[in-house]
Chain A
């Protein structure tokens, strides 16, 4: 689970921020707000502004171009002042758009609240009706209503309001459904409150943000659509004019006097842009979950901070990790998930990495092939040499040649690691084609063989199955087949059985172990299950707060831990035949990785802590044959 939570680290909202504060920080929303405020203020102030009368015609001054004297924006075909008409037209358009929004919000929210509160038949009848409205192309229903009621601004307003009712009904119903079974509603019912009172005083205030969000996202359309109906001559009737009818009047003159249509068109565009910017900002503030595209996607490989290429170390080693530091940069916080890890792996060797959630074991493993998600992950220091090449400095294309070929991964949850849309055989085949250049036919034959080797019954049929048609254990067998497909030199298994039930776990582990031995691949096995490590691995690394705290041969480390943390982990393992043994949970929590202490990170939870432990950094020092420990009192561990 460690990997999952660390990968999903998202920027936290700054503490203590108000909605207004957050809105202000969104510069686009502020621009939108400014646009809307200016236009609305002008429209509201129209009667007191020193403007010409918008309806006074002056045939002598018709179609004056913009920037003429006495008419900044020119005049229209009847010699009316465009600026004045624009301000008055905006007033009408905004009023009608806002009124339509209010009508739609009122009726739609009422339907949504009633449907969700009463449920059952009421809900069914109301929402099926709403579905019917949604089944129409949006504007056509409005046209049908205008057709029946007759052209006119009020009728256009009503028509646009009606077609927007479903958006309010649906979102308000959804929000209310989440509330109707909560305790406070139950309490209000038991206190004998009437249904009306519960809806108005208990439910409505809680769904108000949803209504506001829906209003802010629909008001722009409604202004556009009412203007559109006026443009078609179905809304505002002369002499009354809104922006749409001005545009409609001007379109016949587009060749001789384009300003008559361009001016109102541009104003609609700017107004709606402003409203949409503000609406997006409001939505982000009021409902961060809806924030579209707020999530970062990981890029093809983990970003590596620039640094000098590392010299070669142990020539015979398969993998040599030195001074690896991987961190997550979240806003101003830097989470040091891996904080200086060194280890070496010989060909064919099996290494276990154990530690609590958040100890950095998964991030260490994913750093090897650059699979730590960036953003926010970044490998800030260190070297990872595989067969002598530094993987961190390798071009992406060369790294891709190693991924899935010389080094392969088995991830934790087989439900999510397989692509749900592709047949499992194709997913195995893909890696064969990629790295061995096999033809599709040869690759499929080999994929079936691999599925057979991992013990899938009837592999030929199973190859054509989709992941959701297989059990968890079967899926993980597919993942193992994929990992083994190109006979890798190193397999990295990251808690491969955690998501499986216990009996399946044992079988999958046996399979993994057998196949690894047959192919002679080295193994890095990440787990918090110490029992599995002692079965599968020769050596073990114990990690804590991003660092290795102890390493050595599995038997030696587990029989005689030389770090208090290892000892504490071992004390948590139940032992068969010793039912009286108390399971000691480790008191306290690991330190936050953005605020690591200078001294030993385990000091706060350690029974052997001395003042010295906190005073300086504790180094990983030799603690026996092939063993190292990051503890100054390692000789006393396990003796009292």
Chain B
């Protein structure tokens, strides 16, 4: 297992490398002169010259990349011109809230998606299955940004149960309880689509696993149905579902952009939207790079969980 983990860890290196190349190349997509684009039309020639040097725009592209990457590896993502502070500081400040939001959504979609999928499969063709199937269909078709607005309309404006946005109250105590209170609506809005996807694929995998011979063996042993479903069927289905949850992490991290805007959540997503409007390319680059790298690590973790579940994957 340890050997596998190390090998798998080594495999993330080329992926991270590829990601860095793509993020780097984004700048070369900029039409016209990137330095002007970054600084805006009214930049002083001095500043333009400075950022040209900083970006190494006078050098050939591969060399620019090497310069940029060595900076990244030393924790230097450049300087944000709209905020006038190092990109890395801003990104790290914003990263925590995004992780909390995305983590909560991932937790919700795993729990509810797995439960709904298992119930749906076990009660195939029953009313619970039908209700869940319809709910899943609506769920995966829901624009999360619209759902966020509706949740605010009903639960904040209408019922007054939850705050309309933000991460903590303006004069709050900053407690976990207060955080959870603010987190409930955005995490729910962010989790709905992913829950639908997890539920749908859990159902399909459970139906497949429940037909397997070893489930028949478990029943032939006289095991109670609950144990048959969970220890024998669900664990086997989970082997295939864990990577799907990993993929959902990518959708949740991306969807956070909408939800953070709707709920004024102080995360990377909202930072990115502002940065794009102000054309603060280096800030966009830094934010995307950090989130993409964390997604790679999440997929590493889900892969390791999958291998921990299934001994057959440990070889080779």
Which A residues form the contact surface with B (CB < 8 A)? 128-129, 131-133, 135-151, 220, 224, 227-228, 231-234, 244, 247, 251, 254-255, 258, 261-262, 265, 268-269, 272-273, 275-277, 292-293, 295-298, 300-301, 369, 371, 373, 396-397, 400-405, 408-409, 411, 413, 416-422, 430-431, 434-435, 466, 468-469, 479, 482
B305 interface residue (CB < 8 Å to A): no
Task: Note all chain A residues with C-beta closer than 8 A to B288.
Answer: 136, 140-141, 143-144
The answer to whether B124 touches A297, judged by C-beta atoms less than 8 angstroms apart, is yes
Report the nearest B residue to A408, measured CB to CB: B220
- Give Cα distance in the complex from A356 to B272, angstroms: 68
Report the nearest A residue to B212, measured CB to CB: A416
Task: Note all chain A residues with C-beta closer than 8 A to B277.
Answer: 151, 233-234
Main secondary structure on B side of the interface with A: helix
Assess A148 versus B30: contact at CB under 8 Å? Given A139-B255, A140-B288, A276-B137: yes
Report the nearest B residue to A234, measured CB to CB: B276
Q: Mark B213-244, 1 if CB is under 8 A from A, else 0.
A: 11111111111110010011001100100000
10 A-B pairs with C-beta separation under 8 A: A135-B299, A139-B257, A150-B279, A224-B143, A251-B262, A254-B149, A265-B146, A272-B142, A276-B137, A468-B312
- Residue picked from B19, B219, B228, most chain A C-beta under 10 Å: B219
Task: Note all chain A residues with C-beta closer than 8 A to B228.
Answer: 300
The answer to whether A273 touches B137, judged by C-beta atoms less than 8 angstroms apart, is yes
The answer to whether B146 touches A417, judged by C-beta atoms less than 8 angstroms apart, is no
Task: Note all chain B residues with C-beta closer than 8 A to A293.
Answer: 121, 124, 200, 203-204, 207
- Give Cα distance in the complex from A297 to B123, angstroms: 10
Main secondary structure on A side of the interface with B: helix
- Give Cα distance in the complex from A220 to B140, angstroms: 10
Which 9 residue pairs of A and B lie closest in terms of their CB atoms, listed nearest first?
A139-B254, A265-B146, A403-B222, A297-B210, A404-B221, A132-B18, A404-B222, A148-B29, A416-B213
B273 to chain A, nearest CB (A): 5
The answer to whether B143 touches A227, judged by C-beta atoms less than 8 angstroms apart, is yes
B150 interface residue (CB < 8 Å to A): yes
A225 to chain B, nearest CB (A): 9
Task: Note all chain B residues with C-beta closer than 8 A to A296.
Answer: 124-125, 207
Chain B contacts with A in 147-185, Cβ cutoff 8 A = 149-150, 152-153, 157
Task: Note all chain A residues with C-beta closer than 8 A to B144.
Answer: 228
- Give Cα distance in the complex from A382 to B248, angstroms: 51
- Residue picked from A137, A144, A269, A479, most chain B C-beta under 10 Å: A137
Chain B contacts with A in 26-73, Cβ cutoff 8 A = 26-27, 29-31
B256 to chain A, nearest CB (A): 9
Assess A147 versus B216: contact at CB under 8 Å? Given A137-B251, A140-B254: no
Task: Note all chain B residues with C-beta closer than 8 A to A232.
Answer: 257-258, 261, 273
The answer to whether B295 touches A136, judged by C-beta atoms less than 8 angstroms apart, is yes
Q: Could you say which of A258, A268, A277, A408 contacts B143, with CB atoms under 8 Å apart?
A: A268
- Give Cα distance in the complex from A129 to B258, angstroms: 27
- Give Cα distance in the complex from A422 to B207, angstroms: 20
The answer to whether A404 touches B206, judged by C-beta atoms less than 8 angstroms apart, is no
Assess A140 versus B310: contact at CB under 8 Å? Given A371-B219, A413-B213: no
Assess A247 versus B27: contact at CB under 8 Å? Given A146-B276, A417-B213: no
Assess A295 versus B207: contact at CB under 8 Å? Given A136-B19, A143-B284: yes
- Give Cα distance in the complex from A234 to B269, angstroms: 13
- Give Cα distance in the complex from A254 to B155, angstroms: 13
Q: Could you say which of A131, A262, A401, A421 contacts B18, with CB atoms under 8 Å apart?
A: A131
9 A-B pairs besides A141-B292, A297-B211, A479-B217 with CB distance below 8 A are A145-B26, A150-B31, A254-B149, A269-B142, A277-B137, A293-B121, A369-B220, A396-B225, A403-B219
Q: Could you say which of B149, B224, B285 contacts A265, with CB atoms under 8 Å apart?
A: B149
